[in-house]
């Protein structure tokens, strides 16, 4: 049974039983406690928490998920994978235990011919929370004998989110794979033989405090009981396809086949190679799905996770003997396997493969840098007569250069050395502990929304600011430090909720409105507006006077600032459309921000924009402004908007009915809740300020609009005028005049450099006499402030020659604005294993920088000029007796 068939059977079964079919959410779900969607219930979390009313009583989904906490275990077990698909059925104040158990039994054991999964009922085992007799009785009622129902404790059979919120007992379904996979005795005896495929969670309690998986406080029963289930699609597939693990199912194994073809090694021939093959298959698919949903490789958060996955693929293939680029060969295989279930892969493919290829090129260069550091460390070890690479060096290779430990161990073994693995593992544990503590702090730091939910229960706060900037309304509630209060005193800063509002809450990259809320005997300055829970607008205000709950007020938005924000927001849409038109459809939005007079727009790209292209984008944007396109907004079903080609932000959650903003028909269609001008001519003009990289695969453009753009143009015109007056030329002659001046300046600098070099070399003989003997090597280490570039290089080569034929090393630290170092070695020194490329790394490390080069001559720089003595000392120390 194909994986796609299993997915269809699950969805169809529950759709037939009245469940709304909910498409998979993006992996980049808008939740501050999560990097990625890591469970099928995540998109339904607002309904379980009561932040939003569920739009349906029953739902079914096949949700794509990513978990990376146990990334190092991938490939070693049947249970660990980074990307997986969670099938789930959900009920909100509808059915409960009896129906959930009945549905699960019917689908799991139902005949394949009737749309079921066809598992032998005699192989099904289940677990229940210890003492949950109701669940035990219900399983017996559908046909499972008592001896195949095992009771387990809170750690195994009670579910919660790890933070205060909903929780409840759960019941897991296992399939017995047979004696070949382990000992008999049910899940309690062996969870490799008895493989869990489905967990039914019976949400019935609200938890007030959570200290551990099995240590929490129950506040009260939930207002309504809910069902939340999760079935592992890949686990079901491996059982139905009769394979040994999830890496061998039909949606994954062909990647192993391609890796085997590229490496010339056979899967199944060597257990160590098999782990590497499985890592490749898992990580290629995970990387594909993350990049499809808009993640680009980077050094932080989501980008770092993706970078690590891609680099582990490259590393695993290297350990399989493949040194040429591989991602361009492997990713298309996974694309062809997954595109039927996720058509968005094809839409994003060009961007995905460009991003992956660029990352592979970057990592290949990084491997070279890391290898140089490794070689330096090996040289130092041999000099110290030790055969064990320190664990902190191995960890530095991992943390700084992305070297996995097994790659470092392989390189060490090739050099006849070993690695202090215990110390490395200790440092890795410390890093993971810090990461877990940080994640726990983020979860625990979530503000209580109880006061907000109480105000939201009174109804949604309508936003009327698209048409009304001045509105008569009432104060619904006041919140201070997370608590509801009856009134706000004079001089305080509080959060205020109105019955309806004209104030735009910060979202979609647009700043919140500012303005005034006034009533009888008080006025409130609005300094921020947010939506802490869906449907509720909260105004942060500074109070003058005293305001009670229920007071009638006049809410007035600062109209000038609103119009300026609208100009910038519409201009952001124009820049996006211009980029897609001139750069291509891969220039998809990766973030934006706009405020009065200013905008920035982040987009996916592997290369920067040329000066010519930036000019074309600015011209195209201004042409759209001149053309005076009407800006229209209309409400429509989400699927209809997508069918029209409306652009949506990755990771954003959109309701069934959305607002589509349009400029010039299909030229610019975006899902957007922001405010806009009526026509593009209201923007006036756009001045594109800059374009730069903000991370691997992401570029940023910044621009000014309207009067801010005019002011910038005026300042630039004034600068040109000042230059033309100073140089006594016409504006069209200015560039030529400056170029001639620069040429004259460079010629003068060359003449000065030549004179300086001549002066330095005239004193080189005296400098060479300062060389000292270090373990049989003539060493000359000098500080030469102010000497940099070619002068420093020429001096080093001259001094090396003056040291004669005996082993000699020259190390110089000079530089102008920043310290610069150079190391030169002669033939005799290199015969002793002293290489300039390794020695310069030691010097530059002391200077707070990096260096590199050949065995005979290498150079680099740093940031700390005061560390010049330490840099020279580091080189000298490396010359000490080498054993």
From residue 821, give the alpha-carbon distance in Å to each of 372, 646, 760, 794, 845: 17, 55, 17, 13, 11
For the chain, the farthest-separated pair of C-alpha atoms sits apart, in whole angstroms, at 101
Asked if 253 and 238 count as a contact pair (C-beta separation under 8 A), the reply is no
- Gap between the Cα atoms of 698 and 298, Å rounded: 9
Strand pairing partners for 591?
602
> Tokens 């130092």, residue?
380
Residues annotated within a binding site: 569, 573, 672, 676
How is residue 771 annotated by DSSP?
-
- Gap between the Cα atoms of 272 and 140, Å rounded: 44
How many C-beta atoms surround the C-beta of residue 256 within 10 A?
Answer: 23
From residue 356, give the alpha-carbon distance in Å to each of 254, 283, 313: 19, 12, 11
Give CB contacts under 8 A, 24+ apart, made by 131-138: 132/157, 132/169, 132/171, 134/97, 135/97, 135/101, 135/169, 135/171, 135/202, 138/97, 138/98, 138/101, 138/102
Residues annotated within a binding site for Zn(2+): 569, 573, 672, 676
Nearest Cα residue to 163 out of 35, 70, 32: 32
Percentage helix, strand, coil for the chain under 3-state DSSP, each rounded to 5: 45, 25, 30
Cβ-in-10-Å burial (0-12, 13-18, 19+) of 190 comes to middle
| Through-space distance between the first and last CA atoms of the chain, rounded to whole angstroms | 64
From residue 267, give the alpha-carbon distance in Å to each of 192, 281, 321, 336, 780: 21, 12, 14, 21, 56
How is residue 855 annotated by DSSP?
S
Ranges assigned E (strand) in 638-787: 657-663, 668-671, 686-695, 698-705, 772-774, 777-783
How is residue 743 annotated by DSSP?
H
Ranges assigned E (strand) in 706-807: 772-774, 777-783
């Amino acid at each position: 049974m194909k994986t796609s068939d299993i997915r269809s059977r699950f969805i169809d079964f529950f759709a037939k039983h009245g469940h709304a079919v909910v498409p998979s959410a993006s992996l980049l779900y808008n939740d501050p406690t999560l990097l990625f969607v890591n469970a099928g219930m995540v998109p339904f979390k607002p309904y379980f928490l009561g932040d939003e009313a569920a739009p349906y009583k029953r739902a079914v989904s096949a949700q794509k998920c990513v978990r990376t906490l146990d990334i190092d275990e991938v490939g070693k077990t049947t249970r660990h994978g980074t990307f997986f698909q969670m099938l789930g059925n959900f009920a909100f104040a509808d059915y409960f235990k009896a129906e959930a158990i009945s549905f699960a039994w019917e689908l799991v054991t139902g005949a394949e011919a009737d749309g079921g999964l066809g598992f032998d009922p005699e192989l099904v085992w289940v677990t229940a929370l210890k003492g949950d007799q109701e669940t035990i009785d219900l399983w017996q009622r559908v046909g499972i004998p008592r001896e195949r129902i095992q009771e387990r404790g809170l750690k195994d059979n009670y579910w919660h989110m790890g933070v205060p919120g909903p929780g409840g007992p759960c019941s897991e379904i296992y399939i017995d794979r047979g004696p070949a996979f382990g000992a008999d005795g049910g899940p309690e005896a062996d969870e490799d033989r008895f493989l869990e495929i489905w967990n039914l969670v019976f949400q019935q309690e609200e938890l007030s405090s959570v200290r551990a998986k099995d240590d929490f406080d129950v506040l009260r029963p939930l207002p309504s009981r809910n069902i939340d289930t999760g079935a592992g699609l890949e686990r079901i597939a491996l059982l139905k396809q009769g394979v040994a693990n999830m890496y061998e199912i039909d949606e994954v194994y062909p990647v192993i086949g391609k890796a085997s073809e590229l490496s010339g090694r056979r899967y199944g021939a060597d257990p160590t190679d098999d782990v590497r093959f499985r890592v490749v298959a898992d990580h290629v698919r995970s990387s594909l799905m993350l990049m499809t949903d808009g993640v680009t490789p980077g050094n932080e958060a989501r980008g770092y996770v993706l970078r690590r996955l891609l680099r582990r693929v490259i590393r695993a293939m290297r350990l399989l003997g493949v040194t040429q680029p591989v991602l361009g060969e492997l990713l298309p295989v996974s694309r062809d396997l997954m595109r039927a279930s996720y058509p968005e892969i094809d839409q994003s493919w060009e961007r995905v493969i460009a991003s992956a290829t660029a990352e592979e090129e970057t990592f290949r260069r990084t491997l070279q840098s890391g290898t140089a550091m490794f070689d330096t460390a090996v040289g130092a070890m041999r000099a110290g007569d030790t055969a064990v690479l320190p664990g902190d060096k191995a960890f530095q290779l991992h943390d700084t250069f992305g070297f996995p430990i097994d790659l470092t161990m392989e390189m060490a073994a090739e050099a006849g050395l070993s690695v202090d693995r215990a110390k490395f593992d200790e440092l890795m544990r410390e890093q993971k502990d810090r990461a877990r503590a940080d994640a726990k702090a983020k979860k625990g730091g979530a503000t209580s929304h109880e006061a907000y939910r109480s105000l939201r229960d009174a109804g949604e706060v309508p936003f009327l600011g698209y048409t009304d900037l001045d509105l008569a309304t009432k104060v619904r509630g006041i919140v201070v430090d997370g608590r509801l209060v009856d009134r706000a005193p004079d001089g305080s800063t509080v959060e205020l909720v109105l019955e309806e509002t004209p104030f735009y809450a910060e979202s979609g990259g647009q700043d919140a409105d500012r303005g005034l809320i006034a009533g009888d005997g008080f006025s409130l300055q609005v300094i921020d507006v947010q939506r802490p829970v869906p449907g509720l607008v909260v105004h942060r205000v500074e109070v003058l006077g005293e305001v009670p709950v229920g007071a009638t007020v006049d809410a007035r938005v600062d109209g000038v600032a609103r119009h300026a924000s609208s100009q910038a927001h519409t201009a952001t849409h124009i820049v996006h459309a211009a980029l897609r038109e001139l750069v291509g459809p891969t220039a998809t939005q990766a973030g934006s921000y706009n405020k009065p007079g200013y905008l920035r727009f982040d987009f996916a790209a592997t290369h920067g924009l040329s000066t010519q292209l930036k000019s074309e984008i600015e011209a195209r944007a201004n042409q759209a402004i001149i053309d005076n396109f009407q800006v229209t907004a209309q409400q429509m079903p989400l699927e209809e908007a997508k069918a029209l080609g409306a652009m949506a932000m990755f990771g954003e959650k959109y309701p069934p009915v959305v607002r589509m903003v349009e400029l010039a028909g299909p030229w610019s269609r975006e899902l957007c809740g922001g405010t806009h001008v009526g026509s593009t001519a209201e923007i006036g003009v756009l001045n594109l300020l800059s374009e730069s990289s903000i991370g691997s695969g992401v570029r940023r453009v910044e621009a000014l609009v309207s009067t801010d753009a005019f002011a910038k143009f005026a300042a630039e015109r004034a600068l040109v005028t000042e230059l033309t007056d100073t140089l006594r030329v016409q504006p069209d002659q200015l560039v030529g005049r400056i170029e001639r001046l620069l040429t004259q300046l460079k010629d003068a600098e060359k003449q000065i450099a030549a004179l300086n070099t001549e002066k330095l070399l005239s004193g080189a003989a005296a400098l060479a006499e300062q060389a000292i003997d270090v373990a049989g090597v003539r060493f000359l280490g000098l500080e030469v402030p102010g000497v940099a570039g070619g002068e420093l290089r020429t001096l080093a080569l001259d001094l090396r020659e003056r040291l004669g034929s005996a082993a000699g090393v020259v190390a110089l630290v000079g530089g102008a604005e920043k310290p610069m170092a150079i190391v030169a070695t002669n033939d005799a020194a290199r015969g002793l294993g002293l290489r300039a490329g390794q020695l310069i790394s030691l010097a530059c490390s002391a200077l707070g920088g990096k260096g590199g080069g050949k065995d005979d001559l290498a150079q680099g720089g740093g940031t700390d000029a005061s560390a010049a003595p330490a840099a020279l000392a580091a080189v000298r120390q490396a010359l000490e007796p080498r054993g």
